[in-house]
Structure formats: structure tokens, C-alpha cells
Amino acid sequence: MRFKIVVLDGIYANPGDLIWDGLKPHGDFTIYERTAPEQVMDRALEADILIVNKVELRKALLYKLPKLKMIVISATGMNNVDLEAAKEHGVLVKNVVGYGAPSVAQHTFALILELTNRVSAHHHSVQNGEWDSGKGFSYTVSPVTGLSGKTLGIYGFGSIGREVASIGRAFGMNILVVSGHTLPADYPNYEFVSLPELFERSDIISLHAPLRDDNERVVNRALLSKMKPDARLINTARGPLIHEEDLKNWLMAHPMAGAALDVLEMEPPGAQHPLFGLTNCIITPHMAWTAKSARKKLIDEVVLHVTKFVSQQNSL
């Protein structure tokens, strides 16, 4: 039996430097770079298997797709699919976990190092001729913060959080962790604390928790008020973990502090985003997961999910 496979927003996993050919043996497949909400119904109507990244598949839509048997989310987060409706409709839903841990951890430290070493600011200073203006053989445009001996607080201790902790240890940092599912005895070199204590004691806080109903906007005015006045906040997890207006106010009141965000509450954010224009806030466009090696692993795992499903269906 051959299946009709439709990829609704394939450009994110594969902007053109990888291939989806692993899907070929399983049926006819169509790849769309992007699919607008008003196009989903028409493009998905005949599909047996849908592959989506951020396209939303809600209850009303799922019940209009009688041929649909499987959804593969080419990402870790599953909040764009109504899982309960899919179950009621007899549609199997799979996601991909762990593929991006090295890539996201790498970007996390790229953001940390930009906040502590200000490499780009010093580069532009040199390009603008300031090194040749009587400053001697060495100068800085802002203080450089050493990481060794500093405290790194990690909220969320899945594969990415563990990878970030390992890198932090390599820099000589002390590691604090907030985790609801990890046995502290398994990680004797790390200290497990409450979330308020993590914010009180950390010099750098890195968010790696999944978004749930109970932690939306958990980083708000109350929690930010516990931070050290020169602490740095990193978010490469989910934008809605942070109350962005509260963060703006905190950053404006603490010019020696900083934030570096790869995710925002609304993506793309629009021109009037409250954090735009702050000198102590860095924003990158949800790119932490995009290393080619990570995206290849992602596509390989998507194909594996489809392969297993097709094999099971054909053996019935």
C-alpha cells in the first residue's frame, strides 16, 4: 500500500541544503515550503500522512480530513496539534526529540559569550578606527565578564539543559538546576534548587523548560525582582516562558544586566515589540536549532517515524 504524504511547511527543516528522499519508497509526497492557514484544508484533504513544523492542526480541521492517518511534527513541541482531537479521530501523532540538543546548547553559549565578551561591539570599535586613536595595545568598550567561578542556573533539565550544564562545567561554572523529573543523586556535581532560589543565586540563567499551562510567563516581575542587578537571562526554549513587558521594565532599571533571546511570545514579533531598541537585550530569530547536522537528524527521525508506520500498516 502506498500513501499520500504531504509536508506543509518544509522550509524550516530543509531550506534547500538537505533532501526528503527517504520518503520516496512510501508513496507520493508533496512538499510545500510554507502553508498559510487558509491553504491547510485544501493541501491536507487527500493526505494519509501530514508532516508539519508550526502549521496548526486543530479539532475542527482534523475532523474534516477523513483520510488522515498520521501526523509527524518535525519539531519537539507539540502544542500546534490538538492531540486529544487527533486521538479521538484515530490519528497517530509523533514528534522528534533530542535532535537539536548540541545545536541549541551551542547557540545558548554563543548568546552568553556575546553578553559577557561583547565580541561584535569590539569588532565594530576596531573597524571604526578606535584602536588607532591612542588607546594603546589593548582596550575594552565594556567590561568583560569571566565565566569561571560564576553560577549558571538552568531551568529545565532535558537533553538540552544537560548539554548546557556540561558546557558550563567546562567553563568552570557552578551549576544550579530546576527540574521536576531528575534524580539529584544522578548528578552529584550539580545543585538542585527551587526556581526562586535559582533566580536569586545565578549570575546567568538559561531557560530550557518546555512550555506548559503552569509555567506560561513564569519569568515575570516577581521572579525578575529576585535576580542580581548584573545577572543575564538567556531563553532558547519557548518565548511565552517570559512576560516580555516585565522583562523590558527590569532591563531598563538594571543597565548592567542583560538578556539574550532566541524565542519570543509572538513569532515573527512585529515592528513594535517591547524589547526592540534596548542596548542590553539581544534577539536572534529562533535559529538555535538550525545547525545543518541537527536538521539532518530531524529529517532522518521524521522519515523513520513514517517508515515504521507504513511498515506496520502494510503488515496488517
Identify whether the C-beta of residue 113 lies closer than 8 Å to the C-beta of residue 136.
Answer: no
CA R_g for the chain: 22
Sign for the pseudo-dihedral over CA of 288, 33, 5, 28: negative
Known catalytic residues are: 238, 267, 286
Structure-block grid coordinates of residue 52: 508539519
Q: Is 77 exposed, middle or buried (0-12, 13-18, 19+ CB in 10 A)?
A: middle
CA dist 240 → 18, 151, 213 (Å):
31, 24, 10
Structure-block grid coordinates of residue 89: 479521530
What CA–CA distance (Å, rounded) separates 61 from 304? 26
What CA–CA distance (Å, rounded) separates 235 from 261? 5
